[in-house]
A = this chain, B = another copy of it.
Amino acid sequence: MKRILLTNDDGIYAKGIEALFKEMKKDYDVTVVAPETEQSAVGHAITLMNPLRLKTVKRNREFFGYAIDGTPADCVKLAIMELMKPRPDLLLSGINLGANVGINVIYSGTVSAATEGTMMGIPSMAISIDSFGEPDFTGAARIARFLVQKIFEKGLPAGTSLNVNVPAIPMGEIKGFALTKQGTSRFHEKFDRRLDPRNNIYYWLGGATWDRNTHADTDAGALAKKMVSITPIKHDLTNYHALDELKKWDISHKPA
């Protein structure tokens, strides 16, 4: 039986990871290693200056998995390097509450967990649902199982993880799958400037409203058309097109 590492960034007590666990258990040997607390927007942070502790977590009186007081990337490193011998056959991260599309992919702990898995040589997929409410995760979990089966059948392109986003609508209304690129959707944010009880100023990032770019071939575009978005993600950040432009700079001499 194939062995799957399951993680997330909403924390081990989140409903999304429980739904994914239940669904994947039907076909696979699933090990949960997830952050103890919510780690949204931690991106690809890893913990160097502090030790990491491991706690076993039960759900419904049964062993569910390991909670780590760190980031999603910490969980992936610890699971693959220490906790799972042999290493897992696949990594699954999610189901994240809230779409990871556009510029927000950069901040996403869910996606970073998958990227970390890929960098460690494990086929990896992140999955999110486009809702900040209390969605039904069962459809998205079934889609995850379907795509995991595809990954085992076909393999993933080298150095590539999948970033999957599912509309928060009943399965019957979902139109299908779309291969997409990361779009330019983003949150418009502003800082609240406040005074604490001692009249000291502090700032709090808030006021986020989505500015969705739903161009046809993008992640958010697929969601707008009630489709499941699948974006192949890599960790090479080089802008190869820009290399040509920069060749026009006169930098043949260093400063004197």
Contacts and interface: CB of A to CB of B under 8 A. Distances in A.
A86 interface: no
A103 interface: yes
Contacts of A22: none
A49 interface: yes
Chain A binding surface, main DSSP class: mixed
A51 B142 contact: no
A241 B40 CA distance: 29
Contacts of A112: 43
Contacts of A54: 201-203
A84 interface: no
Contacts of A251: 147, 150, 176-177, 230
Interface stretch (A24-32, A87-95, A189-197): A189-197
B46 A205 contact: yes
A232 B242 CA distance: 6
Interface in A189-240: 189-191, 193-194, 196, 200-205, 228, 230-240
Interface in A233-256: 233-243, 245-249, 251-255
A154 interface: yes
A254 B179 contact: no
Chain A interface category by residue count: 35 or more
Given A243-B232, A254-B176, A42 B45 contact: yes
A124 interface: no
A129 to B, nearest CB: 15
Given A51-B204, A157-B242, 4 more contacts: A42-B42, A44-B107, A82-B193, A157-B239
9 contacts: A44-B107, A47-B205, A48-B205, A50-B204, A146-B255, A150-B251, A160-B242, A177-B254, A230-B251
